[in-house]
Amino acid sequence: MDDESIYELDALATRVTINKGEYLFEEEDPTRYVYNLQVGMGYLERLSSDGRRQIMAFLYPGDFIGLIPDSIVSVSAKALSPLTACRWEMKDIDKLMEKHHELEHRIRRIGNRVLATTMDQLFILGCKNARERLAFFLLQMEKRQKMATGETKSIHLPMTRGDIADYLGVTVETVSRVFTIIKEEGLIALPDPYEVIILQREELENIAEYYSVT
C-alpha cells in the first residue's frame, strides 16, 4: 500500500489493549469492527450448545480478525497473553476500499490466507491420528511464529494442553501422552511446558505429511 492509504488507515485506527483471558469480541456480537493484532497472542473459539469448545485458530501479531461477511460474529476472540490490537470500524474500511483499490486487494489476500488456514485445520482433523495431528500442529505453529517474529530456535506455546486439545479435536490426556511419546522418540525437546525445540525436523514432517500442504 502507498503512504497515503497507510496514513489514512492508521488515522482511523483505535488501539485496544486487553489482559490475558479477556475477549476482543464474543459470539453473537454485531459485526462492527476489524482488528489487526500487534502484540501478544490469542485464539478464536466457538462453543456448542452443550458447552463444548472448538478452537478454530491461534492468533499471532500481524493477523487480521473480524473480516466476517455476516452481520453477527460466529466466533469469540480471546487473549492468551496481554494483547494489543488496532481496531477499525467496518464502515470506515468499506469507505477506504472504495478510494484505495489496493486495500481491497490486500483484504482479499487476507481472506485467502484465512481460507488456507481453515483448510489446514480440516486436513488435520479429517484424516490424521493424534500423533500426526500434534506433529502437524508443531510445524504449523513454528511457521506462524517465524512469520510473526522471525524466531525459529524454539516454538513458544503460551496455550495450555487443553487449548491444544480443543484445537486438534482430541482429549487433554491424549495431547499430554503424545507429547511424551514424541519427546521419548527424540523428535522434540521440552525445556518447559510452554517451549518446544524440534530436534528431528525431517521425521516430524514425514509424520505430519507437512510437505504436501505447505
pLDDT band at 93 (very low <50, low <70, confident <90, very high): confident
Q: For residues 176-192, b (16+ Cβ closer than 10 Å) or e, as one string?
A: eebbeebeeeebbeeee
Integer Cα distance of 61 and 192 in angstroms: 23
Among the ranges given (1-5, 37-41, 74-78, 190-194), the one the predictor scored with the smallest mean pLDDT: 1-5
> What domains appear along the chain, each with residue ranges and CATH number?
3-120 (2.60.120.10), 128-212 (1.10.10.10)
DSSP conformation class of 20: T
Q: What is the pLDDT of residues 112-150, one digit of tens each?
A: 677 677 777 777 777 789 999 999 999 999 999 998 888
Nearest partner of 121 among 36, 172, 58, judged by Cα = 58
Q: What is the pLDDT of residues 10-37, one digit of tens each?
A: 888 899 999 999 999 999 898 889 999 9
